[in-house]
Amino acid sequence: MPDISTEKVCFVIVKARELDVKVAPEELDDASNPADDGMQRILESYVDDPTYEELHSFLAAQSDDELAELLALTWIGRGDYGADDWDEVMDEVRDLREMHAVEYLLGTPLLADYLEEGLSQFGLSCEDIELGQL
């Protein structure tokens, strides 16, 4: 069972979802309404994206144990392991400690979905977490 707080996992889920809804600038419609240009800027994905930076900073500030647990929850949520395999997953994550966990997590497609599913495998969810706190 994960020791990382559900609030921290939910924060990562919320920020990862915010990144998931963004589109690359070249995917935007060239015939857009000029009045919508501000909205397009929000939806575009940029290298200096504040949401990406916020999530990166948050992850980088976590302890090694918390990053390991986020990786383990991701792998469980992805279906690589089950909740009953927690100790085995944690052993494998610890063996891969030098794998640049922050970049790995940020580069994982569907990270929010995997973390959410990983939490649900332990009977946890973000439903009771107040979004204003995140």
- What is the predicted pLDDT for the residue at 19? 86
Write out the two tokens for 132: 């204003």
Q: What is the pTM of this model?
A: 0.78
Per-residue pLDDT of the chain (134 residues; tens, 9 = 90+): 889 999 999 999 999 999 887 655 544 455 555 555 544 454 455 556 788 899 999 999 999 899 999 999 999 999 999 999 999 999 988 876 666 889 999 999 999 999 999 999 999 999 877 655 55
Distance, CA of 9 to CA of 31 (rounded, Å): 39
How much is the pLDDT for 133?
A: 54
